[in-house]
Amino acid sequence: MKITQGIRIGHGEAYRRASQAYTLTEVMVTMVIMLLVMAALLSSHLFGLRLSELARAKLGASDEARAAISAMLSEIRSAKLIRIGTGSLTTFQEVAPNTPQIGNSIQIYPTTSTNVFIRYYWDTADQKLKRTTNAASFVSVVANSISNRNVFTSEDYRGTILANNENNRVIGLTLQFYQLQYPRVTIGPGHYYDFYQLRSKITRRTLE
């Protein structure tokens, strides 16, 4: 009887302990561990989203930059004459002799006739790089959100800006973006990029 009673008491004690609720300390420790795991998962997810947006912005910027210079590059390379100066939709003023060859506009002549031309210019009104021709009454936008006025330069092989319209010069193109278009990303403090610039140099295949 005593042995049987001892066995019954032992089983009752084990059952009682197994059916006890968690203590407050155990609950708090469990909650803290769960919160840490959830915070780690959320941080990883947000980091992945940020990397995805960075990749999208870089791809969009590369596409816009490629589209901005592809047609211009071909037109400059095949040009007969090139002039750098100050221009708009209706006017163009070439840089004077003995003056640094730098300006917001470039005029490209596919032939030796100065009546036929292609003009690229930075518009001060909306800060866009635009393209027009002698026969057009409208413009096409080449690049958006450009902050620098002096887009075009005439340089030597070392990158020094020339003071005259020399025959074997290199055409410099500089575009400083303050906003990317696809996807729309503002450049500056607190955003993805502090600075984004497209810099290219183009030489003609033919000489004047």
pLDDT at residue number 14: 54
pTM over 0.75: no
Asked if the model's pLDDT at residue 7 lies above 50, the reply is no
**Predicted confidence (pLDDT) per residue in 80-114, tens digit:** 999 999 999 999 999 999 999 999 999 999 998 99
Q: Sheet harboring 170-177: ordered strands across?
A: 102-103, 152-155, 170-177, 196-202
Positions of E strands within the chain: 81-87, 92-94, 102-103, 105-109, 118-123, 128-133, 140-143, 152-155, 170-177, 179-180, 185-186, 196-202
**Predicted confidence (pLDDT) per residue in 183-194, tens digit:** 666 666 666 666
145 touches 135 (CB < 8 A) = no
pLDDT at residue number 104: 96
* CA 30 and chain centroid, separation: 45
pLDDT at residue number 6: 47
**Predicted confidence (pLDDT) per residue in 137-164, tens digit:** 788 888 888 889 999 999 998 889 999 8
- Identify the domain containing residue 93 by its residue range: 40-202
Amino acid (1-letter code) at residue 136: A
The label of the residue with tokens 């575009």 reads 175
* Distance (Å, whole) CA 36 – CA 43: 10
The residue among 115, 117, 91 whose CA lies nearest residue 103 is 91
* Distance (Å, whole) CA 206 – CA 60: 33
Within-domain flag for 84: yes
Percent of the chain with pLDDT over 70: 71
Within-domain flag for 64: yes
The residue among 81, 91, 63 whose CA lies nearest residue 167 is 81
Asked if the model's pLDDT at residue 10 lies above 60, the reply is no
Within-domain flag for 32: no
**Predicted confidence (pLDDT) per residue in 49-66, tens digit:** 776 666 666 666 666 667
**Predicted confidence (pLDDT) per residue in 12-33, tens digit:** 555 555 556 678 788 888 888 9
Domains identified in the chain, total number:
1
* Distance (Å, whole) CA 71 – CA 61: 17
Within-domain flag for 14: no
**Residue scoring higher pLDDT (208 or 178):** 178
